[in-house]
Amino acid sequence: MSQHSWADRCLPHPFVSIVVACSWLILSHSLDASDLLLALVLAVFIPQLLNRFIIRTPNIDWKTAIQLFFVVLRDVVVSNFVVAKLVLGSTEKLQPKWFRVPLDTQHEQVNSLLAMIITTTPGTVSAGIDQERGDILVHALSCDDPQAEIDQIKQRYEAPLLKIFNVKQGESI
For the chain, helix, strand, coil in percent to 5 are 60, 10, 30
Residue 134: which region, alpha, beta or left (left: phi > 0; alpha: psi -120 to 50)?
left
Q: Which residue did the predictor score with more confidence, 78 or 59?
A: 78
On whether both 66 and 46 belong to a single domain, the answer is no
Please report whether residue 44 resides in a domain.
Answer: yes
Residues 35 and 115 in one domain: no
Q: Is residue 169 part of a domain?
A: no
Mean pLDDT, the chain, whole residue set: 88
pLDDT by residue (tens digit) across 89-107? 888 878 999 999 999 999 8
Residue 43 falls inside a structural domain: yes
Same domain, residue pair 77 and 147: yes
User: Is residue 57's pLDDT more than 70?
Assistant: no
Together in a domain, 46 and 66: no
In this structure, is residue 88 part of a structural domain? yes
Statement: residue 68 has pLDDT above 90: yes
Q: Give the per-residue pLDDT at 1.
A: 43
In a domain, 56, yes or no: no
79/150 same-domain check: yes
Helix (H), strand (E) at residue 99: strand 97-102
Give the per-residue pLDDT at 4: 63
Measured between alpha carbons, how far is 57 from 160 in angstroms, rounded to an integer? 18
Higher pLDDT, 42 or 131: 42
Q: Is residue 172 part of a domain?
A: no
Cα–Cα distances in Å, from 118 out to 3, 82, 111, 130? 42, 15, 11, 15
Q: Please state the rounded mean pLDDT for residues 15-34.
A: 88
Interval 21-44 mean pLDDT: 91
Which pLDDT value is given to residue 155?
97
CA atoms within 13 A on the CB side of 134: 9
- Looking at the fold, whether 88 and 154 belong to one and the same domain comes out as yes
Maximum average pLDDT range among 13-22, 44-53, 66-75: 66-75
For residues 46 and 68, membership in a common domain is answered with: no
Distances from the Cα of 126 to the Cα of 1, 15, 99, 111, 123, angstroms: 46, 27, 10, 11, 10
Q: Are residues 78 and 23 in the same domain?
A: no
Could you give the CA distance from residue 55 to residue 147 in angstroms, rounded to a whole number?
38
Domain that holds residue 140: 62-164
Instruction: Judge whether 127 lies within some domain.
Output: yes
Same domain, 44 and 68: no
- Measure the CA angle with vertex 123, ends 63 and 150; round to 5°: 65
The whole-number average pLDDT for the span 10-38 is 87
- Sequence-ordered alpha helix ranges (H) in 89-169: 108-120, 146-153, 159-164
Whether residue 83 is predicted with pLDDT greater than 50 in this model: the reply is: yes
Do 80 and 138 lie in one domain? The reply is yes
pTM above 0.75, yes or no: no
140 in the same domain as 104: yes
pLDDT digits (tens, 9 = 90+) for 111-139: 999 999 999 999 999 889 998 899 999 99
Tally of domains within the chain: 2
In-domain check, residue 90: yes
- Say whether both 114 and 144 belong to one domain: yes
